[in-house]
Amino acid sequence: MNVNQHPRAAQKRRTRKAIVDAAIALLARGETPTVNDVAAAADVSRRTVYLYFPSFDQLLLDATVGALAQASVDRAIEQASDDGEARVGHLVRALHHVSPEIEKLGRSLIKLTIDGEPPAEGAPRRGYRRIEWIEQALSPLRDRLAPKRWNQLVGALAMVIGWEALIVQRDVCGLGVAEGEALSAWAANALVRAALEDERNAGAPASRS
C-alpha cells in the first residue's frame, strides 16, 4: 500500500495522520485547539505531537490546508470513471484549482517544514495525504501492477503532483495556472502509461535471437 513498506514507517504515518485528522476535526467544530486538545482527540501524548510537529503552528497549518483541499479532491476522484489514467487527471485538476489563499498556506507549510526541526525518525515530514489521494486515484490499476512497480508509480506521481510541482511551475517555469495544470496532467499520465507498459514488457516472454 505504501511507498515505504517498513512496518514502523507505516505506523508512524498512521500516527501522524491521526494527529492531523484530530486537528482538522477540532477546527471544523469552530474550536481553537491547543496541543492538549489535539493530543487527547488523537489519543496520543503531548510529546508524540511534538515529535511529529516541532511547531504547533505547522500542525495547524497542515490541518487547515488539508481541510480546505480534501473535499474538492475527494469529489473529483469520486466523480471520475474507473479508468486509472482519467482519475489521476481529475486529481491533478482538483489540486490545481486552489485559491490564492490556499496556495499561500501551502507555501508557508513548505517553509515551516524546511525551517523546522526534523520529526521522529522515519516519520514523513508531511505529504501522507497526497499519497492517499494518489493511491485512491490509481486504485483501478492496482491489480495490473506488481507491488514494486505500484510503489514506484505512487512515488513518481508524488513528485509531479502537489505544492512543490505547483511552485516549480509558477516560480521556475513561469507558467500560468492553465499551463501548469496541463503540464502536470501530461507528466502524470505519461508516468501511468510508462508503468503499465513496463509491467506488460516484464510479463512478456523473452525474444529469441
Every domain of the chain and the residues it spans: 7-203
Cβ–Cβ under 8 Å, residues 181 and 170: no
What would the grid cell of residue 31 be? 474550536
In this predicted structure, the answer to whether residue 152 has a pLDDT above a threshold of 80 is yes
d(CA 48, CA 165): 30
pTM score, whole prediction: 0.68
pLDDT score, position 208: 39
Residues 107-136: tens digit of each pLDDT: 776 776 666 666 555 555 555 678 888 999
Query: pLDDT > 90: what percent of the chain?
Result: 33
| Options 1.10.10, 3.90.550, 1.10.357, 1.10.1740; CATH of 7-203 | 1.10.357
pLDDT score, position 206: 43
Q: Which residues, in sequence order, are CB contacts of 86 under 8 Å at separation 6+? A: 80
d(CA 87, CA 57): 33
